[in-house]
Amino acid sequence: MYLYHPTIRQTHADGDALDDGEKIGLPTSIVDAFIARLSSFGYAPEGASSGRRSFVKLAGGSTITVAVHSSEISFTVPTSDSGSDAVFEALQDACELSDGGDLEPYDPQTEEWLNAV
């Protein structure tokens, strides 16, 4: 699951691939607000490296990892746990954390944007 700036959703709808060209960066205020909300969903900081900040949460015996980059935020669950409750929880958390309209959730497995426009 990925969260992008709303402009990325529009350019994707216009036919651009998600990885075409330079991605639009997420405003610092949006990233800071997102990170502040992560703890209320049970995520704890894991570390930072080369422009990436990581947060983790245990769900149903699996680990959900949130990686915050300058142009996207990703939620991942190990592929061995693809059928677990952690996948559902990661999708739910991503949608709830993006409900303010500043971030658009995209599921690469289904290739669909999850919030209604």
pLDDT tens per residue across span 7-33: 888 888 788 877 754 668 899 999 999
Q: What pTM did the predictor assign?
A: 0.87
pLDDT of 22-63, one tens digit each?
Answer: 668 899 999 999 999 999 999 999 988 888 999 999 987 889
Distance CA 115, CA 1 (A): 12
So what's the pLDDT on residue 22? 61
Query: In what helix (H) or strand (E) does residue 31 lie, and over which residues does it extend?
Result: helix 28-38
What CA–CA distance (Å, rounded) separates 12 from 49?
Answer: 29
Q: How far is CA 6 from the centre of its chain?
A: 13
Per-residue confidence at 68, pLDDT binned at 50, 70, 90?
very high
Residue closest to 1 by CA, chosen among 106, 116, 98: 106
